[in-house]
């Protein structure tokens, strides 16, 4: 609470409660250790400040992700994509793990493999997707970085 009041702003872009929740096992461990120990709170303060640093790092990652998506959509929407492509791109921006291939694309977009391949090729031509090394049956794609997309 003191840290919140001390920064002098109403808006915070980090969440200590969310960070403590994600580290609750360590939180309760250090809390129990502190309660059973001496009145020296150095170890507790060290853990708390480290946790604060991780909360700020997490906020930075979240903000970077949001800015990446916003910049990508700003450029993509200059020449809009079709509904299937929009669906797959939104999924990839959010929680998609790994790389995409025509089979995964077809499953996500509920379309044929041929349609998936055409959609992917359009995204590659527009530098939205980048083909990973390898080919043939193991051909896969990833989202372009901002640097790749903007060039």
Quickly count: other Cβ atoms within 10 Å of residue 106's Cβ. 20
Domain membership flag for residue 98: yes
Judge if 85 and 134 occupy the same domain: yes
Residue 151 pLDDT > 70: no
- 123-145, pLDDT tens digit by residue? 999 999 999 997 777 899 999 88
Residue 28 pLDDT > 70: yes
Domain membership flag for residue 92: yes
Judge if 49 and 95 occupy the same domain: no
Judge if 101 and 142 occupy the same domain: yes
Give 5's pLDDT tier (boundaries 50, 70, 90).
low
Nearest C-alpha neighbor of 145 from the set 59, 65, 60: 65
Domain span at residue 20 reads 2-67
Domain membership flag for residue 75: no
Residue 72 pLDDT > 80: yes
Judge if 91 and 116 occupy the same domain: yes
Domain membership flag for residue 126: yes
CA 93 vs CA 28, 32, 35, 76, 90: distances in Å? 34, 40, 44, 13, 5
CA 150 vs CA 44, 68, 73, 108, 126: distances in Å? 46, 12, 12, 26, 10
- The pLDDT, as a whole number, for residue 94 is 86
- The pLDDT, as a whole number, for residue 88 is 95
Judge if 7 and 31 occupy the same domain: yes
Domain boundary among 38, 67, 96: 67
Judge if 38 and 98 occupy the same domain: no
Give 116's pLDDT tier (boundaries 50, 70, 90).
very high
Higher-scoring residue by pLDDT: 38, 12: 38
- The pLDDT, as a whole number, for residue 148 is 80
Judge if 144 and 85 occupy the same domain: yes
- The pLDDT, as a whole number, for residue 65 is 86
Give 12's pLDDT tier (boundaries 50, 70, 90).
low
Mean pLDDT of 16-42: 88
Helix (H, G, I), strand (E, B) or coil at 92: helix
Question: Which runs of consecutive H residues, i.e. helices, occur in 23-100?
Answer: 24-36, 42-76, 83-94
| Number of domains present in the structure of the chain | 2
Judge if 139 and 96 occupy the same domain: yes
Judge if 88 and 128 occupy the same domain: yes
Domain membership flag for residue 100: yes
- 79-113, pLDDT tens digit by residue? 989 999 999 999 998 878 889 999 999 999 999 99
Residue pair 139/101 in contact (Cβ under 8 Å)? The answer is: yes
Mean pLDDT of 46-53: 91
Domain membership flag for residue 73: no
């Amino acid at each position: 609470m003191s840290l919140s009041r001390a920064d002098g702003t109403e808006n915070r872009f980090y969440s200590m409660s969310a960070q403590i929740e994600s580290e609750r096992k360590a939180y309760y461990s250090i809390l129990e250790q502190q309660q059973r120990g001496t009145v020296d709170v150095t170890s507790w303060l060290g853990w708390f400040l480290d946790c604060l640093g991780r909360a700020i790092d997490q906020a930075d990652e979240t903000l970077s992700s949001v800015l990446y998506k916003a910049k990508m959509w700003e450029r993509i929407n200059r020449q809009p994509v079709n509904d299937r492509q929009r669906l797959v791109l939104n999924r990839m921006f959010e929680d998609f793990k790994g790389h995409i291939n025509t089979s995964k694309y077809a499953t996500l977009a509920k379309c044929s493999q041929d349609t998936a391949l055409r959609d992917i090729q359009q995204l590659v031509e527009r530098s939205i997707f980048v083909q990973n090394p390898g080919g043939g049956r193991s051909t896969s794609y990833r989202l372009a970085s901002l640097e790749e997309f903007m060039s």
